[in-house]
Copies of this chain bind each other. A is one copy, B any other.
Amino acid sequence: MKFIHTADWHLGKLVHGIYMTEDQRYFLNKFVDLVEEEKPDAVVIAGDLYDRSVPPTDAVELLNEILFKINVELKTPIVAIGGNHDSAERLSFGSSWYKQSRFYLSGKLESDIQPIHINGVNFYLVPYAEPGMVRHLLNDESIHSHQDAMKAAIGKIEKHLNPNEPNVFVGHAFVLGGQTSDSERTLSVGGSGCVGSELFEPFSYTALGHLHSPDAIKHQKVRYSGSLLKYSFSEAKQEKSISIIEMKENGQFDLRIRSITPKNDLRELEGHLDELMDPSIYEKQNVNDYLKIILHDEGALIDPINKLRQIYPNVLHLERKIAMTDMKKKHSFSSVKEDKKSELELFKQFYEEMTTSEFTDEKNAVMAEVIEKTLKEEAGR
């Protein structure tokens, strides 16, 4: 029995103010081709189908179109759960109808988790849920952390699990020891959002979503597929991939990795401004890639970002790097590592990542005033 494990599509994602929807459309159409070629018995999507609870309408249309191609046109069963970025209720709409054509969507955790049987394999679907919600759902006052909640959910599953059959757990969680990037949303503010990998011991394979690197944890049976695309520069060096699992009757499996080339890569580029503007350098590259450029020049440069954008239209971020021997000059221009950003800089960065509009001087002035006022009030207490 063969299934594809993917997760963290984040449809409708904004990266540094740029909507990724067209890149996602290009990639997912290639993914559909891969499904057609592989002819798996199921496609498993382990949460974060959308990037937010109310995604843009073109992201809604894209998800509808891709899932329809896979499920109805290619007649491939789909097993999908909600992640921490999805709205449990909104994602769930219609799921009672979808299952009639073997599209099993669990947006919201239910107290009775019945397995989905596909070609001899049992899939247990545990969508992302806040510990408080699980406490209420299972009527168990002892649940306070994500670890407690996951343990309770798996405890319920274990009561009717047949260990002699291949059982696959599909979940969306931060499993202990996993490596984070800049584009996952923290699951818990204060306190740990982690769950221990030992909880998944009863399962032949655990198909996880949440962390964006396919190598986020080293474990024989508990795996992240990684996100669809690179969604932050901290993921620039990751190899994104699609996991193909061939599950045997005894629960052992073979893992194979396939990759799809995205329309535009997301990567870092370093050098002196003159070098980067040199045709012999840029002609060898996809200049449309999403770039973080790190300039090595010293001294003043006139409007480097607009010069660079004439060649590389998708420069998302520009930094300047100073050789350690020049540390005495550090304060003359911005440096790669800033120890502590001001509130205003942090807000500006957040604003530019979350919206498509520019953080104008006017907006800057308004925020500066608000921050100053707040800091004064804080100091006055």
Interface centre among A72, A87, A89, A93 (most CB of B within 10 A): A93
Q: Does A60 contact B (CB under 8 A)?
A: yes
Given contacts A64-B94, A96-B72, contact A54 B57 (CB under 8 A): no
- B96 lies within 8 A of A93 (CB): no
Q: In the bound complex, what is the Cα–Cα distance between A218 and B97 (angstroms)?
A: 39
**Nearest CB in chain B to that of A88: its residue:** B57
Q: How many copies are assembled?
A: 2
Q: Does A92 contact B (CB under 8 A)?
A: yes
> Which A62-115 residues have C-beta < 8 A from chain B?
63-64, 68, 71-72, 87-90, 92-94, 96-98, 100-101, 103
Q: Does A61 contact B (CB under 8 A)?
A: yes
Q: Give the chain B neighbours of A58 by CB distance below 8 A.
A: 89
Q: Within the complex, what minimum Cβ distance (angstroms) separates A48 from chain B? A: 17
Number of residues from A at the complex interface, CB < 8 A: 23
Q: In the bound complex, what is the Cα–Cα distance between A157 and B224 (angstroms)?
A: 50
> Which A325-349 residues have C-beta < 8 A from chain B?
none
**Nearest CB in chain B to that of A72: its residue:** B96
Interface centre among A64, A96, A97, A100 (most CB of B within 10 A): A97
Q: Within the complex, what minimum Cβ distance (angstroms) separates A69 from chain B? A: 10
Chain A, 152-167, contact with B by CB distance < 8 Å: what is the 0/1 string?
Answer: 0000000000000000
Q: Give the chain B neighbours of A100 by CB distance below 8 A.
A: 97, 100-101
> Which A298-340 residues have C-beta < 8 A from chain B?
none
Given contacts A100-B100, A101-B100, contact A93 B54 (CB under 8 A): no
Q: In the bound complex, what is the Cα–Cα distance between A87 and B64 (angstroms)?
A: 15
**Nearest CB in chain B to that of A99: its residue:** B97
Interface residue from B54, B87, B89, B98 paired with A94 (Cβ < 8 Å): B98
Q: Within the complex, what minimum Cβ distance (angstroms) separates A149 from chain B? A: 20
Q: Give the chain B neighbours of A89 by CB distance below 8 A.
A: 57-58, 60-61
Q: Give the chain B neighbours of A94 by CB distance below 8 A.
A: 64, 93-94, 97-98
Q: Give the chain B neighbours of A54 by CB distance below 8 A.
A: 54
Q: Within the complex, what minimum Cβ distance (angstroms) separates A97 from chain B? A: 5
Q: Give the chain B neighbours of A63 by CB distance below 8 A.
A: 93
Q: Within the complex, what minimum Cβ distance (angstroms) separates A95 from chain B? A: 8
Q: Which residues of A contact B (CB under 8 A)?
A: 54, 57-58, 60-61, 63-64, 68, 71-72, 87-90, 92-94, 96-98, 100-101, 103
Task: Given A64-B96, A68-B96, output 11 extra A-B contacts at Cβ < 8 Å.
Answer: A54-B54, A57-B87, A57-B88, A57-B89, A60-B93, A61-B89, A64-B92, A72-B96, A93-B94, A97-B97, A97-B98
5 pairs of A and B residues whose beta carbons are closest in the complex: A57-B89, A94-B94, A68-B96, A64-B93, A97-B98
Some 24 contacts from A to B, beta carbons below 8 A apart, are: A54-B54, A57-B87, A57-B88, A57-B89, A57-B90, A60-B89, A60-B90, A60-B93, A61-B92, A63-B93, A64-B92, A64-B93, A64-B94, A64-B96, A68-B97, A71-B97, A72-B97, A93-B93, A94-B94, A97-B97, A97-B100, A97-B101, A100-B100, A100-B101
